[in-house]
Amino acid sequence: MLLKIERESLIDWYQKMFDTGLTNGTSGNVSIFNRKEALVAMSPTGVGIDRLTPEDISIVELDGTLVEGLKPSSEVEMHNILYRNREDINAIVHGHTIYATTVACLREDLPAIDYMIAVAGGNNVRCAEYATYGTRELAENALQAMEGRKAVLLANHGLITGAENIQNAFHIAEQIEYISKLYVKAKSMGEPVILSDDEMEKMVKLFKNYGQIKN
The catalytic site residues sit at 75
Q: Confirm if 173 and 161 have CB atoms less than 8 A apart.
A: yes
User: In terms of DSSP H, where are the helices of 63-212?
Assistant: 76-85, 98-105, 136-145, 166-189, 197-206
Q: Confirm if 113 and 182 have CB atoms less than 8 A apart.
A: yes
Nearest-angstrom CA–CA distance, 79 and 86: 11
Nearest-angstrom CA–CA distance, 121 and 89: 13
- DSSP-assigned letter for residue 43: P
Nearest-angstrom CA–CA distance, 167 and 182: 23
